[in-house]
Amino acid sequence: MTNFFSSNFKLGILGGGQLGKMMLYDTRKYDIQTYVLDPSQDAPCKIACDHFQQGNLMDYETVYNFGKKVDVLTFEIETVNLEALVQLEKEGKKVYPSSKTLEKIQNKGEQKLFYEENKIPTAAFTRFSNKAHLTEGITNNRIKLPFVWKSTQGGYDGKGVSIIRSGADLAKLPDTECIAEHLVDFKNELAVIVVRNPSGEIKTYPVVEMEFHPEANQVEYVICPARIDSKIAQKAVIIAEKVSKAFEHVGVLAVEMFQTQEDDILVNEVAPRPHNSGHYSIEASYTNQFEQHIRAILDLPLGATESKVGGIMVNLVGKEGHTGDVIYKNIEEIMKMKGVTPHIYGKKQTRPYRKMGHVTIIHENIDEARKIAEKVKNTIQVIS
């Protein structure tokens, strides 16, 4: 077995944002040497990794040469050069999740086709090559208003996703390849974090419930455990495991889902990395999702995924009307509250709806935790 700890072993991470930073809490705990590549000189990861390199994640030579320096390569963002990963794997480098997995996930159109081919339940959709093609599809009744528009590439944190209800909404869309998805009438938006290592060991975290901001289309609250019937939760876990196995995924995979009015479970989309829906696990779980990702990609035994206590995560995002040097107003007030832990990501500049941090609330009673979460949300403000 490779000696990963206090040794010359090198773990490479493509992307230096907050997910990488939180992963580095655990590499430091285990004294695993880390290399990070990110385009920004001010990347949150810079303060915590052993070696930081500034560079373009979509540039073949940059990613390829970075990958040559390390023993195992992973990523905390999907927008990385796929061809470089393919070449590194050909030369025997371990890349987890693999380029094969990432290729099926990077493009949302390909991802949706993958669900259809593997008989994984998902909302009905139509793929369009550009805006003119989409407009023609509406004219010919191939797709009916209202629908969910998604850019096939580059979307994250609510960007690249819109609900189209009228011609005016359509006019605002960029001219890009997209999918038009049936608007699902759902009771709940759910997620399951699945973790799998190369040996095939697989574990799942409890089902979480997600509450979204109505305008920004990004998660405001993540509630664990989800306030749903145990049979529905079991159905969601079975589908999430099926998704992970179908992708032959290694590492942490976040599977986002809808619970329909008829209590069917539909897969919305996946993220092949630690995810916002698993942040609560830092305080609430026996093994948090970031440590679990590291265990998985190094083919180490997976940790316990059960919760020690109920947990809710509140996203801290930039307030509307504020752009510039960040100030966390009233953070001292929430720090006085029992069971409340703020996490600040280290981004110096705020802008409207930019993810700047999160707060975890733990409590034995999940309904009480939700009330505290509301209080936290209404107290702290991310301003400039």
Name the binding residues for ATP: 108, 150, 181-184, 189, 268-269
> What is the C-alpha to C-alpha distance for residues 198 and 219, in angstroms, rounded to an integer?
31
How would DSSP label each residue in 356-370? EEEEEEEESSHHHHH
Residue set of the binding site: 108, 150, 181-184, 189, 268-269
Q: What is the 3-state secondary structure (H, E, C) of 109-158?
A: HHHHHHHHHCCCCECCEEEECCHHHHHHHHHCCCCCCCEEEEECCCCCCC
Q: Which two tokens stand for residue 307?
A: 């919760």
Residue 309 main-chain phi, psi, to 5 deg: -160, 160
Q: Which two tokens stand for residue 325?
A: 């040097």
> What is the C-alpha to C-alpha distance for residues 351 and 356, in angstroms, rounded to an integer?
9
* 22 contacts: CB under 8 Å, gap ≥ 6: 274, 279, 282, 290, 343
